[in-house]
Amino acid sequence: MSNRFEEQQEQFTASTTSGGLTRNYQSGRSVFGLAMTIISGACLLVTLLPLFAVMIYVLIKGFSRLNLDLFTQLPPAAGTEGGGIANAILGTLMMVGIGAAISVPIGVLGAVYLSEFSSPKVARWIRFATNVLSGVPSIIVGIFAYGIIVLTTKQFSAFAGGVALAVLMLPIVVRTTDESLQIVPPEIRWASVGVGASEYQTVLRVVLPAALPAILTGVTLAVARAAGETAPLIFTALFTFFWPQGIFEPAPSLAVLVYNFATTPYESQQELAWAASLILVLLVLITSILTRLATRKSIY
């Protein structure tokens, strides 16, 4: 009888000890999870801090210069007051539009071939090449466009600037479109082929519409990078204080205007540089909002 009682007591002690260890282990996991959540949140705040700091600082410095003249008048001469940046806004839209018109169709079609029709070996080398191209400094792209277009035509032009921006935008469009197409589940392709659609019909009518939101996001990123580039446009489009006369003539841009006016000793031109910086940020923001709205409509 005493032996059975001792056995029961030992079992109770072992179960109690085991339960305590389990509770301690679970408690330790909870504390570790909470600590990692706090650290992750702090890292997120640190990541977002530069973004908000830049936006707030640019807003403070450039908001006071926002008026109707800013969007309707030409830049002032050195040392004079007033004026605007209307020609630079128009020139930026022109060159970014040329770059997007060249890079987006080529990039999307190239990514479709890369993801849907090419062999794995070819796709691996093309992806490697696009990664290398995306890492090329923008000033090198500017020199390339200068040697290929400006020296050939003997003329700085908005077209040369648009080509330089297209080279910068192309790897972003290709990579984001390629990854967007790979995200589409293969079951969707199988279902389309199963009901009698050809491979080309499946890509055009099923896969591309399903990946459209991510593709538009990639295009937005490419446009945002192109809109803020300065070095390629200095080598290709140069700058002018007048209205753009055409795509084969020198053209102003917001980025080059900021570069030129921010280093001048004249306060009026420095204010225009801050206002142009704010307009650049707003252009990127508006483009992102419009892309999100178009994506939502395409989904629902």
pLDDT of residue 289: 80
**CA-angle at 210, arms to 209 and 216, nearest 5°:** 70
Residues 227, 255 contacting (CB under 8 angstroms) = yes
189 token code pair: 């392709």
Query: Which residues are CB-contacts of 73 (< 8 A; sequence separation ≥ 6)?
Result: 82, 83, 84, 86
pLDDT tens for each residue of 115-154: 888 788 888 888 888 888 888 888 999 999 999 999 998 8
Tally of CB atoms within 10 A around 265: 8
Residues 178, 131 contacting (CB under 8 angstroms) = no
Cα–Cα dist 202/288, whole Å: 29
**Res. 6 pLDDT band, cuts 50 70 90:** low
Which residue from 255, 212, 202, 217 is spatially nearest to 95, judged by alpha carbons? 255
Cα–Cα dist 138/173, whole Å: 16
pLDDT tens for each residue of 87-116: 899 999 999 999 999 999 999 998 888 888
pTM for the model: 0.79
pLDDT of residue 299: 41
Residues 180, 214 contacting (CB under 8 angstroms) = yes
Which residue from 96, 76, 83, 88 is spatially nearest to 159, judged by alpha carbons? 96
Tally of CB atoms within 10 A around 55: 13
Tally of CB atoms within 10 A around 217: 16
Torsion sign (Cα): 123, 129, 133, 136: positive
Higher-confidence position of 294 and 155: 155
Give the mean model confidence (pLDDT) for residues 210-228.
85
pLDDT of residue 295: 64
